[in-house]
Amino acid sequence: MFLKNYWYVAAMDHEIGRKPLGRIILGEPVVFFRTEDGTPIALEDRCPHRRLPLSMGKLIGDDVLQCHYHGLRFDRTGQCVRVPGQDMIPKTAKVKSYPVVERYKWLWIWMGDPALADQDKIVDYHWLDDPNWGARPDYLYAQCNWQLVNDNLLDLTHLAFVHETTIGNMALVEHAAVKVERTPVGVRVTRWIIDQPAPPAFVKIGGFTGNVDRWQIIDYTPPSFIRLDVGATPTGTGAPEGRRVGGISMRNLNAMTPETESTTHYFWAQAHDFDPRNPATTEKIFQQIKTAFLQDVDVFTAQQKNIELDPEAPTIDINADSGGIQARRIVDRLWKEEQAAKVAATAAE
Ligand code: FES
Ligand SMILES: [Fe+2]
């Protein structure tokens, strides 16, 4: 199940250049490249002649992509402009082109109806290029359905078990005050852990010597955008009342783009507002969080394998699933709405 009429992150900006890059997005093969002036282009990555990925080909001049197999050429709109050995270009010799926008150091793509591709709908990730924040974006390939990543980020009790060596400890499960609420478009899960020991990574990053007040405010925007406001301050200094001083405050930024039903392009970054222009601080934080995220990827892969062995095997829900369950309900509703709109549009034609 894919929701199509949304902007998704397709790539980190530096991944796209003059060498064509092929990537499957929402089950469709897409080739990315830049024209000589740096404009990003996204076309269907499937030659209409014999279906070779055009990403195996090369750029000729500014914006013409030549297929590696028999040399058909396509311009930036996807129109075939040359067939070697013949003058006539078949009318159907073209590939689809996709709207793309570069924002927040990411390249965003619209896979649905291009008429609906409103750039204002791109979810806010300004922390990635805000000079008041340090951040290093990264890409992980997750061998799982994209909604497993949503579930994971909306239930942070898993930190106590999956990430006990980095960002987790038992205080997160046993001593958290949790609130789950609907926002105008999604879900927010707010967790406060008051007067508890800091986890190992927080001690390394924040230098805490005593107990802390820790917050995790998780904002979910469908289909698969999850932004976490996380941090800790020495206990009793007033963070729950809004005085975040003497500790660390970060944003954990996640954008999951389905590749197929069972694989996901996982774009993420950790942004920090303390010591924001010190690359060594950014790197130290990045390495701590990346260690944790690789632990998650192992979990996703193992879950997906079991799901594929028997998709109907029964599961149970516990209290901690509340945010994830609500997110899945929203996705189901939006998917039904999108399908109904498609049927109505077809009927009107
Ligand atoms: S497959 Fe592309 S030119 Fe033949
Ligand atoms: Fe995790």
| Peptide bond connecting 20 to the previous residue in cis, omega within 30 degrees of 0 | no
Q: For residue 234, how many other CB atoms are within 10 A of its CB?
A: 18
Q: Which residue's CA is the closest to the ligand 1 atom numbered 1?
A: 50
Which domains does the chain carry? Answer: 7-120 (2.102.10.10), 126-334 (3.90.380.10)
Largest CA distance in the chain: 78
What atom in ligand 1 is closest to the CA of residue 47?
Answer: 2
Give the Å distance between the CA of 102 and the centre of ligand 2: 28
Q: Which of 49, 40, 96, 41 is nearest to 73 (CA)?
A: 49
- Tell me what pLDDT residue 167 has: 84
pTM score of the predicted model = 0.95
What is the tens place of the pLDDT at every residue in 187-216? 999 999 999 999 988 998 899 999 999 999
What is the tens place of the pLDDT at every residue in 131-182? 999 999 999 999 999 999 999 999 999 999 999 888 888 888 888 999 999 9
Q: Which of 23, 21, 45 is nearest to 97 (CA)?
A: 45
What is the three-class DSSP state of 260?
Answer: strand
Task: Please state, in angstroms and rounded to a whole number, the distance separating the CA atoms of residues 155 and 346.
Answer: 39
Q: Which residues surround ligand 2, an ion (CB under 5 A)?
A: 296
- Tell me what pLDDT residue 168 has: 81
| Regions of the chain with pLDDT less than 50 | none
Best residue among 47, 94, 95 to mutate for probing ligand 1, ranked by most atoms within 8 Å of CB: 47
Cβ < 6 Å from ligand 1: which residues?
47, 49-50, 52, 67, 69-72
Structure tokens given for 344? 């109505």
- Tell me what pLDDT residue 67 has: 98
- Tell me what pLDDT residue 336 has: 97
Burial of 26-65, coded b for 16+ CB within 10 Å and e otherwise, reads: bebbbbbbbeeeeebbbbbbbbbeeebbbbebebeeebbb
What atom in ligand 1 is closest to the CA of residue 70?
Answer: 3
- Tell me what pLDDT residue 129 has: 94
- Tell me what pLDDT residue 301 has: 97
- Tell me what pLDDT residue 173 has: 87
- Tell me what pLDDT residue 337 has: 97
